Structure 1
Amino acid sequence: MYTAESISKILKGELLQQTGHPEIEHILLDSRKLLVAETSVFIPLVSERRNAHQYIDELYKKGVSNFIVSEPVSIGLYPKANIIQVKNTLQALHALVAWHRHQFQIPVIGITGSNGKTIVKEWLYQLLEKDYNIVRSPKSYNSQIGVPLSVWQMKAENDLAIFEAGISQPGEMVNLEKVIRPTIGIFTNIGEAHNEGFLNIRQKVNEKLILFMKSDVLIYCKDYLALNECVNNFHNLVGKREIDNDLQLLTWSRKTDADLRVIGVDKNSNHTRIDALYKQEPIFIRIPFVDEGSIENAIHCWALMLYLGKPQQVIQERMDHLGNIAMRLEMKQGINNCSIINDSYNSDLGSLAIALEFLQQQRQHPVRTVILSDILQSGKSEGSLYEEVAGMLEQKGIQKLIGIGKNISREKQSFSKVKASFFANTEEFLQQVNPNEFQNESILVKGARIFQFERIGKLLEQKAHQTILEINLNAIAHNIKAYQALLKPGIKLMAMVKAFSYGSGSFEIASLLQFHGVDYLAVAYADEGVDLRRAGITLPIMVMNPEPTTFEAILQWNLEPELYSMHILDQFEEVVRYANKSNYPVHIKLDTGMHRLGFEQSDLPVLVQRLQHEGLFKVQSIFSHLASSEDPAKDDFTKKQYERFIKMSATLQQQLGYAVIRHIANSAAIHRHPDMQLDMVRLGIGMYGVDSAASFQDKLRNVSTLKTTIAQLKHIPAGDSVGYGGQWTATAPAVTATVRIGYADGYSRKLGNGNGKMLIRNKLAPVVGVVAMDMLMLDVTHIPDAAEGDEVIVFGEALPVQEVADWAGTIPYEILTGISQRVKRVYFQE
């Protein structure tokens, strides 16, 4: 049991105040993720952009009474708190969890590498869960923060631990090694992912190898040349150090001699047989996957099972039943105006907490519902386990619970504070529940794999057009951080969510932005802002194109209009006066050279008088729009715009007599013209993964993937034509694929007749003939393994939207915003 006093001794910190001895069970790093106040200790981390000490007051009021701080705290404000002072809170986090790790003498598997870490971890859990009580990283918690939170889960009941570790720059792994201290190591592979923080690939390998400084064994593939060389050098180096044990290398290879020598890989339609020699004996496994990544991941797991001495017959049986790993939470449109969050492949406390955080962000529906299976291998008694689950549901504002499983049903008394119903198994739920009972709800479907909750997902999800737009919410968060890293301290961020968030969705994206602490949202029209307010968005929202017919709605929903002319000011002033409002927040648009909207220099004297008249308005911000911030050839013009803005805004601010936010920098200007950041910047299409500068584009992640499927394959004789008007004729025997997308979905007719291309089985297939309303045809003659039902990528990671825009003779903005609303959006969080 940990208390403030014992933690203070572990950290060699100063116990500034002790008012009690509550048991500390949970580490809290993010104030938004509070689950159990009474047993949590808050450790406020400090970064260049954010100092979490500012949330101490909020958490104290919510019942948190344990704090580890690195900055002065007014103790008198928190008379019931235990407060520990340390020099650095991140270092304290690592030190505390490293001490916790050292209390356990069980096998600990540490996994690192460029790809496959999470899959290997989850497959090992599937393979070994019958033999061990396993604790493992939730999802892909492998960072400087994620690893300590994972290792802190270790309990006396566990007899095996599996943790993954990832780094983005030199010097990070030494911290994670002390926290994980693996006895068994797996290095999955090495590639170009996250390479930007390292001089070269060998430096990255050597940094990752630090994880295994004190390990008993390291499992890896010899076929990666740089990895193999670095491991051998590392092994020689470790051998010279004074440690308690020598590092054993357990190697496998498909090319050369190794401990596990793969001699054959035979794929059929949906299985792969892998033959190998181990200790001179022939052995084999079968896995229900055929892709190369899965084969590599499975061999790593095979090697680990062999090292643990598992019988080959047991290994074969379990490998043959490996299941898909849900790498992400998915949110889809459900029946009866519901949103379905599908996380139907595992159920444990760590992943439940993550899923509940995601559910809490969704405020578009009045009711939040959780469909939850039994939680397996928690290491807790059923009573205490489900009492904790009930507390988590209450903390996150869950109104309804559907429990499925004998264990959770036995503990129904724990869930008295929510509307709850229980079923013995999934089949019983499917037979007894009418789907129409779910109306206007956000529903989290969260179950262990054996409960087959994917059947529930299919029941509740709206049957969708097979053309879908996938939105990666993690990528949006990553891109925001990439731009925020360039901002000077204290500069605010306005996120542009106009035009359905550049085609990505409205409240779904706004909920994410609100969760990540964006300062302002901007929409094009008032109805977009009203939709966000109805969905529970409370951030300030600027309306960039207010129309007189929507002024009453603007006031009703607390939206903030952009005023850009005397005419629009006159009309809005009349509505504000009639509503008996004062100091109503508005934003003043200045025209500095773009000549689209905005007040000009000559308007300023009268504008100031009008803004001060009767105290009707409070100017929240003054801003202008750069016309060519992305173009180096227009930098002189951009500079002139900026200088005009500084002069005009200074005049306004001086006359108004109070501080006003000033902003002119858009996505491109944030990094191309950092001197123009002023008080706030506006982040638009960059947030969605598109930047005009190639150097900065490399730092962004793809957000949107538009995909469809092949409806039918056609064998076309030479001389036959395809599509309306017969505009494409086969010059030789050809094969075409008819795919389920057309101009009604937003795919431009300009991309017909060979201008556009799509990806099928990682090969580009040109559009042949014209683009029809609902369908188009691709030439797949050169893709002999193409099959009906195959996935077709219209744009995404491997086929950037910028390239599609070039083919259409337009810009990415038009492609993204043109995707029809009939194309279903699927939101996922990895």
Structure 2
Amino acid sequence: MDAITIREIVDATGGQLLAGKEDAVVTGVCTDSRIFQQGDLFVALLGENTDAHRFVRQVAEQGGKTFLISESDAAEALADANVILVRDTLAGLQALTHYYLDKIGVGKIAVTGSVGKTSTRDMVYYILSEKYKTGRPIKNYNSDVGIPLTVFTFDSTMEMAVLEEGMEHAGEIHRLADMTRPEVAVITNVGISHLENLGSRENIYRAKMEITDFFGRDNVLIINESCDLLKRSRIHGDYKVITAGETGTEDYVVSDIRDMGLEGVSFTLTAGGESREFRLNVPGAHNALNAALAVAACAQYGVTMDQAAEGLRKLQLTGKRLKVREARGIRVLDDSYNAAPDSVKSAVRTMEATPAERRVAILGAMNELGDDTPALHYEVGRYAAEHGISLVVGIEPKAAEIVRGAREAGCDALYFDEKEDLYPELPKLLKEGDLVLTKASMTRHFWEIADKIING
């Protein structure tokens, strides 16, 4: 992070300097007292369960010199410190993020979507990095707090930034777009994640489209037109729209997709009269469309197809996404980061395209699906049974419908109430030559199952 002065923080946040020196500087931003470092601005956020104002004294004792607070009483514990009072510390953090992005002057591409946004974000990063010094999110940070923490790891030596913008409710992407003001945005798809909160796919579409709320004539929206709700004809904003898809009518046309299972994917991409073959060393045929969106986004900054292909050749996905792990002759496809019906089906298709003596799917709850939760879990179970899975293992109550669907489609299936009930059975259930998928919503921590299989 480039150093910024207390005066800059006060001006950017609209705060009041209660104590301290305007010309003092900070060299980092922190919201967690446990990882505070010397030189950080400590932002005392008010969370659902914790008020970080309780920890300002502790941070001061650790050497903290600069604080952003919304409770003036907290200043009493901060002798000899720079103390900035704002009405709302989260809003202050986001205003400072907006200011800092302008200050360092990076180009900005933002990615959102129901499924595939983190993978597409990673692809954008690897492609851009062939031409520019590029920053990307820490871990899976894509929220009101996560994006600021990412941005404050950037500095003015960076030329480009790729950001991920997530949501659970309407209005959230609007706030993130206001904070980041991307020049180019990508919407990967509109699925059924968040149905519980938003009620319909049409409402999810509107929420995703908030990423364009601050767009003008110089901005570009990249959409996956293979998604039924993402059509150029539906979009009427005063900005450029570029499409990718498989029908042959899009600006970026994906064809000749070859799913090689765990070995990856190859495909042909055609744009502007130029065609090129691409190879991804990560599994999942759906990633061909994600890659097309990433190539289209990076082309807005002069990245060539050849540069894009070289960047994608180096691609490594963040976190527990389609990671292949192996021990004792058992291969595990660890796709535990998150789950929705479409992403589970995609992982099953990857399994189906991979040679194996036996394919086992260990599946758990898919969250935020609303009234359709039982039916969608049942559908996933049937789909797994019909696409090469020999044994389905469902864990926790929602997954009981996955098991029912698999059984009714003629597949062997087992149900366990909790992960811990499965662990003693793993040595008996799995054998050399098995290919095993672990997948559920992130809150279920299914990577722990993958770890148990690998570590024995």
TM-score between the two structures when normalised by the length of structure 1 = 0.42
1:763 maps to: 384
1:84 maps to: 84
2:221 maps to: 218
Q: Does the 8 Å contact 2:258/2:267 carry over to 1?
A: yes
Within the candidate set 237, 254, 274, 1:262 is matched to 254
Within the candidate set 797, 808, 820, 2:424 is matched to 820
Cα shift readout 1:648-677 (whole Å, capped 9, x = no counterpart): xxxxxxxxxxxxxxxxxxxxxxxxxxxxxx
Cα shift readout 1:664-692 (whole Å, capped 9, x = no counterpart): xxxxxxxxxxxxxxxxxxxxxxxxxxxxx
Once the two structures are TM-superposed, the CA of residue 52 in structure 1 deviates from its matched residue by 1.6
Q: Structure 1 residue 170 and structure 2 residue 163: aligned?
A: no
Cα shift readout 1:160-203 (whole Å, capped 9, x = no counterpart): 11111011111222221122111111111110112322242222
Find the structure with the greater CA-based Rg. 1
- Shift of the 323–76 alpha-carbon distance from structure 1 to 2, 3 Å rule, reads closer
Once the two structures are TM-superposed, the CA of residue 225 in structure 1 deviates from its matched residue by 2.4
- Shift of the 816–63 alpha-carbon distance from structure 1 to 2, 3 Å rule, reads same
TM alignment of 1:598-637, pairs within 5 A:
none
Return the alpha-carbon distance in structure 2 between the equivalents of residues 814 and 12 of structure 1.
Answer: 49
2:189 maps to: 189
Within the candidate set 302, 307, 312, 1:309 is matched to 302
Return the alpha-carbon distance in structure 1 between the equivalents of residues 120 and 356 of structure 2.
Answer: 36
2:97 maps to: 97
Q: Structure 1 residue 297 and structure 2 residue 290: aligned?
A: yes
- Shift of the 210–251 alpha-carbon distance from structure 1 to 2, 3 Å rule, reads same
Paired letter, 1:327: G
1:53 maps to: 53
- Shift of the 28–255 alpha-carbon distance from structure 1 to 2, 3 Å rule, reads same
Q: Identify the range of structure 1 (168-177 vs 86-95) with the bigger mean alpha-carbon deviation.
A: 168-177
1:180 maps to: 180
Q: Does the 8 Å contact 1:289/1:295 carry over to 2?
A: no
Once the two structures are TM-superposed, the CA of residue 5 in structure 1 deviates from its matched residue by 3.2
Once the two structures are TM-superposed, the CA of residue 159 in structure 1 deviates from its matched residue by 0.7
Once the two structures are TM-superposed, the CA of residue 70 in structure 1 deviates from its matched residue by 0.9
Return the alpha-carbon distance in structure 1 between the equivalents of residues 258 and 416 of structure 2.
Answer: 42
Once the two structures are TM-superposed, the CA of residue 468 in structure 1 deviates from its matched residue by 8.1
TM alignment of 1:729-768, pairs within 5 A:
763-764=384-385
Return the alpha-carbon distance in structure 2 between the equivalents of residues 105 and 326 of structure 1.
Answer: 26
Return the alpha-carbon distance in structure 2 between the equivalents of residues 55 and 197 of structure 1.
Answer: 33
Q: Structure 1 residue 12 and structure 2 residue 4: aligned?
A: no
Once the two structures are TM-superposed, the CA of residue 62 in structure 1 deviates from its matched residue by 1.4
Q: Secondary structure at the match of 1:800?
A: helix
Paired letter, 1:254: E
Q: Does the 8 Å contact 2:397/2:417 carry over to 1?
A: no
Q: Secondary structure at the match of 1:119?
A: helix
Q: Structure 1 residue 227 and structure 2 residue 227: aligned?
A: no
Paired letter, 1:117: K
Q: Secondary structure at the match of 1:763?
A: helix
Q: Secondary structure at the match of 2:319?
A: coil
Paired letter, 1:260: Y
Cα shift readout 1:234-280 (whole Å, capped 9, x = no counterpart): 4x2x32xxxxxxx1111122125121233433445645442344224
Q: Does the 8 Å contact 1:45/1:90 carry over to 2?
A: yes
Return the alpha-carbon distance in structure 1 between the equivalents of residues 361 and 69 of structure 2.
Answer: 56
Paired letter, 1:328: K
1:795 maps to: 394
Q: Does the 8 Å contact 1:123/1:322 carry over to 2?
A: no
- Shift of the 57–792 alpha-carbon distance from structure 1 to 2, 3 Å rule, reads farther
Return the alpha-carbon distance in structure 2 between the equivalents of residues 826 and 182 of structure 1.
Answer: 37
Q: Secondary structure at the match of 1:73?
A: helix
- Shift of the 468–800 alpha-carbon distance from structure 1 to 2, 3 Å rule, reads farther
Paired letter, 2:271: Y
Q: Structure 1 residue 128 and structure 2 residue 131: aligned?
A: no
1:285 maps to: 278
Return the alpha-carbon distance in structure 2 between the equivalents of residues 470 and 314 of structure 1.
Answer: 29
Identity across matched positions, percent: 21
Aligned alpha-carbon RMSD (Å) = 4.2
Paired letter, 2:289: E
Q: Does the 8 Å contact 2:223/2:242 carry over to 1?
A: yes
Once the two structures are TM-superposed, the CA of residue 825 in structure 1 deviates from its matched residue by 4.8
Q: Does the 8 Å contact 1:22/1:39 carry over to 2?
A: no
2:370 maps to: none
Return the alpha-carbon distance in structure 1 between the equivalents of residues 252 and 359 of structure 2.
Answer: 45
Q: Does the 8 Å contact 1:147/1:179 carry over to 2?
A: no
- Shift of the 211–740 alpha-carbon distance from structure 1 to 2, 3 Å rule, reads closer
Return the alpha-carbon distance in structure 1 between the equivalents of residues 60 and 306 of structure 2.
Answer: 55
Return the alpha-carbon distance in structure 1 between the equivalents of residues 168 and 9 of structure 2.
Answer: 29
Cα shift readout 1:439-458 (whole Å, capped 9, x = no counterpart): xxxxxxxxxxxxxxx9xx99
Paired letter, 2:384: K
- Shift of the 66–762 alpha-carbon distance from structure 1 to 2, 3 Å rule, reads same
Return the alpha-carbon distance in structure 1 between the equivalents of residues 360 and 55 of structure 2.
Answer: 51
Q: Does the 8 Å contact 1:222/1:251 carry over to 2?
A: yes
- Shift of the 202–137 alpha-carbon distance from structure 1 to 2, 3 Å rule, reads same
Cα shift readout 1:496-518 (whole Å, capped 9, x = no counterpart): xxxxxxxxxxxxxxxxxxxxxxx
- Shift of the 151–19 alpha-carbon distance from structure 1 to 2, 3 Å rule, reads closer
Which segments of 5 or more consecutive residues in structure 2 lack a partner in the other structure? 342-350, 363-377, 428-447
Once the two structures are TM-superposed, the CA of residue 43 in structure 1 deviates from its matched residue by 1.2
Q: Does the 8 Å contact 2:123/2:294 carry over to 1?
A: yes
Return the alpha-carbon distance in structure 1 between the equivalents of residues 268 and 359 of structure 2.
Answer: 39
TM alignment of 1:569-584, pairs within 5 A:
none
Q: Secondary structure at the match of 1:114?
A: coil
Q: Secondary structure at the match of 2:162?
A: strand
Cα shift readout 1:799-818 (whole Å, capped 9, x = no counterpart): 92576599899984488436
Cα shift readout 1:322-359 (whole Å, capped 9, x = no counterpart): 434142399xxxxxxxxxxxxxx9xxxxxxxxxxxxxx
Return the alpha-carbon distance in structure 1 between the equivalents of residues 414 and 276 of structure 2.
Answer: 56
- Shift of the 798–112 alpha-carbon distance from structure 1 to 2, 3 Å rule, reads farther
- Shift of the 220–66 alpha-carbon distance from structure 1 to 2, 3 Å rule, reads same
Q: Does the 8 Å contact 2:128/2:303 carry over to 1?
A: no
1:251 maps to: 243
Matched residues, number:
393
Once the two structures are TM-superposed, the CA of residue 466 in structure 1 deviates from its matched residue by 3.8
Return the alpha-carbon distance in structure 2 between the equivalents of residues 206 and 118 of structure 1.
Answer: 20
Once the two structures are TM-superposed, the CA of residue 464 in structure 1 deviates from its matched residue by 5.5
2:115 maps to: 115
Q: Structure 1 residue 152 and structure 2 residue 152: aligned?
A: yes
Return the alpha-carbon distance in structure 1 between the equivalents of residues 184 and 360 of structure 2.
Answer: 48
Return the alpha-carbon distance in structure 2 between the equivalents of residues 301 and 329 of structure 1.
Answer: 18
Return the alpha-carbon distance in structure 2 between the equivalents of residues 827 and 810 of structure 1.
Answer: 20
Paired letter, 1:264: D
Q: Does the 8 Å contact 1:8/1:15 carry over to 2?
A: yes
Q: Does the 8 Å contact 1:69/1:84 carry over to 2?
A: yes
Once the two structures are TM-superposed, the CA of residue 90 in structure 1 deviates from its matched residue by 1.0
- Shift of the 289–821 alpha-carbon distance from structure 1 to 2, 3 Å rule, reads closer
- Shift of the 39–798 alpha-carbon distance from structure 1 to 2, 3 Å rule, reads same
Q: Secondary structure at the match of 1:32?
A: helix
Paired letter, 1:66: T
* Bigger relative CO (Cα 8 Å, ≥ 6 apart): 2
Once the two structures are TM-superposed, the CA of residue 6 in structure 1 deviates from its matched residue by 2.8
Cα shift readout 1:668-724 (whole Å, capped 9, x = no counterpart): xxxxxxxxxxxxxxxxxxxxxxxxxxxxxx9xxxxxxxxx999985xxxxxxxxxxx
Q: Does the 8 Å contact 1:760/1:792 carry over to 2?
A: no
2:442 maps to: none
- Shift of the 73–821 alpha-carbon distance from structure 1 to 2, 3 Å rule, reads farther
Return the alpha-carbon distance in structure 2 between the equivalents of residues 325 and 814 of structure 1.
Answer: 28
- Shift of the 466–820 alpha-carbon distance from structure 1 to 2, 3 Å rule, reads farther
Cα shift readout 1:6-52 (whole Å, capped 9, x = no counterpart): 31122221111116854212111122232x1x211111111343222
Once the two structures are TM-superposed, the CA of residue 82 in structure 1 deviates from its matched residue by 1.4
